[in-house]
Structure 1
């Protein structure tokens, strides 16, 4: 009996301390939110933490305190009311803000876009402190309907969606660098030359980037390229995304242009259908 009471006490205090931890986390978040405009990278996290807090606290109190049945019912009832209230608030939040969130395969990066359902404004959020983030930029085109996120590297995520005109657009979130963050560089210039993959050839030259799939070729002038960070570019035609080119993790950027090109690039077609990126190997200078 003594061992059982001892373990019951240990479990109860452990649950109580976890609940206090969740409470402190929420208080810290609210302080940072007011002072530095920091938000959770996904709005649903706030309500999920509230739900965990009330569950752990209610169970801890029921385990630690010797209460009459009537008091246990009161604690359980308060917990249920608080739990259901947060469920309602969570659902209401989902109706106001649509969270587009994706975690990288390495679990080290998080891509986040929050769309205001009423206005259609979509904002890209940059993570700074784990699950905390700040707004980085507003997407140029409003999201209309479904979307998909694909990671082309452990630090490159592509959001593909249709805008209000039904045109396909791509927005790229980048979270790294291939030059140690020492300076800004242009992806198109760094991939100068000929690249080949599965029935695909990409040539970066003075006039732009030419993409050949099978027997069909299309040239994208430099004016029709949009760069994201220092890791990816989107090739466009008539203001619609066609391809995204990304630098793979093994790609090396050299200050000395005479050094050989090392690494791979990834070519990803802009389509709402499920598709996989094509890995390209460097063949020769153009």
Structure 2
């Protein structure tokens, strides 16, 4: 136990002599708040300088264009706050010319963010999981060309894939699992509905590529009259609308987590859920794993969870 020296005051009560220590702590706290504002301002400014000098070399850009202007504004605000917290510099930062200059810079930065246009439509969709993945899609307004971006570090992303069809109108992102986002859109090229599935995870140790069609061999059932039978190079899907058959070779696999069943266009999207596990050397998911099945449509769709009731030969 640590004892502190005390002294009696005029009132006869013992007074803790740590008062000066407490005052010093409070002073240190105030200094820390000032230092924090300064450091945040320098950090934001440094990030912007680094980004401008290295964006071409690293082929990176902000997730969204507005983030560049937000960081500019944050750097200015933090630097001003840090200056106002310093007694020696406070008179300088309170000068009308300095205040007016800061206001003009802040307003000009905001105006630049609102008035300038790079000709792109940006769509960000965050995963419901933590840590969160983010689907970043940027569409050229003049020709409909769409590019999917992958996270590089922090708020920066790098271009990954270009959609095979141009995008017209609205885009429907739908997270079918915490690391799988189905992006459904329409294209003027053929007037049809298309889908691209962005995957951000894996169900094995991540060292080997595997085929989803092999991993899900067997019979799977879900509520509402859904059943999927996967064997002998075919997928037979029974739904309340009837029975549909798809060949392995005709299906489109995305990453190692998703399979899309096509006819004239994409019909169904199938996803390996997070409870699916493929141990090293195994071809099929372990018992207990489930799948998510969802119809491809621009309208609102409700996914169906499938559970395996029988293993099958592939």
What is the TM-score when the length of structure 2 is the normalising length? 0.80
Give the 3 Å change call, closer, same or farther, for CA 178–193 of structure 1 in structure 2: same
C-alpha displacement of 1:197? 0.9
Distance 1:174 1:95, change over 3 A: same
Q: Which moved more, 1:168-177 or 1:123-132?
A: 123-132
**Which residue in the other structure is 2:16 paired with?**
none
| Corresponding residue for residue 210 of structure 2 | 185
Deviation at 1:257, TM superposition (A): 4.6
Between 36-45 and 187-196, report the one with greater CA deviation: 36-45
Size of the aligned set, in residue pairs, is 283
- Within-5 A mapping of 1:44-123: 44-64=66-86, 65-67=89-91, 72-92=95-115, 96-108=119-131, 109-123=133-147
Question: Could you say which residue in structure 1 is the equivalent of 2:266?
Answer: 241
Greater relative contact order, per chain length (Cα 8 Å cut-off, separation 6+): 1
Matched, 1:281 2:307: yes
How far apart are residue 13 of structure 1 and its match?
3.3
Select 2:53's aligned residue among 10, 24, 31: 31
Residues 73-222 of structure 1 mapped to structure 2, 5 A cutoff:
73-92=96-115, 96-108=119-131, 109-164=133-188, 165-199=190-224, 200-222=226-248
Give how far 1:195 is off: 0.9
Secondary structure at the counterpart of residue 30 of structure 1: helix
1:231 aligns with 2:257: yes
Q: Distance in 2 between matches of 1:15 and 1:27?
A: 18
Q: Deviations over 1:227-253 (max 9, x none)?
A: 111111111221x22211010011122
Deviation at 1:32, TM superposition (A): 3.2
Q: CA deviation at 1:267?
A: 0.7
Residues 1:93 and 1:203: Cα distance change in structure 2 (over 3 Å): farther
Tell me, in whole angstroms, the C-alpha distance in 2 between the residues paired with 1:258 and 1:228: 17
Are 2:44 and 1:18 aligned?
Answer: no
Equivalents in 2 of 1:60, 1:130: separation in Å? 25
Kindly state the Cα deviation for residue 264 of structure 1 after the two structures are TM-superposed. 0.6
Q: 1:72 to 1:202 in 2, by over 3 A?
A: farther
2:90 match: secondary structure? coil
Corresponding position of 2:14: none
In structure 2, the gaps of 5 or more residues are 1-22
CA distance in 2: counterparts of 1:50 and 1:274, whole angstroms: 39
Distance 1:51 1:166, change over 3 A: farther
Q: Is the 8 A contact 1:62 1:72 kept in 2?
A: no
The 8 Å contact of residues 145 and 163 in structure 2, kept in 1 or not, is answered as: yes
Note the C-alpha offset of 1:22: 0.7
Please say if residues 241 and 270 of structure 1, whose CA atoms lie closer than 8 Å, have aligned partners that are also in contact.
Answer: yes
Native 8 Å contact 2:216 2:285 kept in 1: no
**Superposition RMSD on alpha carbons, in Å?**
2.6
Secondary structure at the counterpart of residue 33 of structure 2: helix
Q: 1:284 to 1:21 in 2, by over 3 A?
A: same
Give me the whole-angstrom Cα distance separating, in 2, the residues matched to 1:58 and 1:21.
Answer: 14
Q: 1:120 to 1:73 in 2, by over 3 A?
A: farther
